Amino acid sequence: MTGEATAPDGGIQAGPLGVGETRLISLREIVDVNGSLLVGEVPDTLPFVARRFFALYDIPAGEARGTHAHRECEQFLVCLRGSVTALVDDGRTRREVRLDRAELGLYMPRLTWGTQSDYSPDALLMVFASHGYDADDYIHDYDEFRSLAGV
């Protein structure tokens, strides 16, 4: 895979990642003696209405998921348990973030190249998507992605 060098990231905090419009968004987490509640809500903490979701778990060490972009679909990733490394790339800049806190979600706009890897054994990754499944929405070729991203 081509593209700029990956810039591993240490701690993570809410805000833009410097990769297109990707950003980390704080969810509201309420922890008390009655248990923990995490809330995401359109538009502030869930960036779009979700027409589809995935939950990923029991992912073997060394397995990578993603490695594609979407023409139209936006995604929002929340690692509810464990941790996972998310790579985001807008065709110009590439960055990795370690998602290891449920209260920080990763927003990936359309035309963001992404891969998720290094799942911890207990990782549980929720992905919210703005669109239903459409095979034609997937871009699996990195050069085609860069071209569509106007690079």
Indicate which single residue of 26, 38, 118, 148 sits in contact with its own copies (rule: CB under 8 A).
Answer: 38
Residue 60: is the preceding peptide bond cis (ω within 30°)? no
Q: Are 133 and 52 in contact (CB under 8 A)?
A: yes
Give the span between the Cα atoms of 83 and 74, in whole angstroms: 21
- In 3-state terms, what secondary structure has residue 136? helix
Nearer to its own copies, 81 or 92 (CB): 81
| Residue showing tokens 């990923």 | 56
Binding characters for its own copies, 90-129, by CB under 8 A (x = yes)? ------------x----------------x----x-x-x-
Verify binding: residue 142, its own copies, rule CB under 8 A.
no
**Considering the rule CB under 8 A, would residue 33 count as an interface residue with its own copies?**
yes
Q: Binding to its own copies by residue 35, rule CB under 8 A?
A: yes
Looking at beta carbons only, is 20 or 40 nearer to its own copies? 40
Question: Which residues have C-beta within 8 Å of that of residue 65, sequence separation ≥ 6?
Answer: 56, 59, 115, 116, 117
Q: Of 133, 143, 144, 151, which lies in the binding site for its own copies, with binding defined by CB under 8 A?
A: 133
Residue 52 is a binding residue for its own copies (CB under 8 A): yes
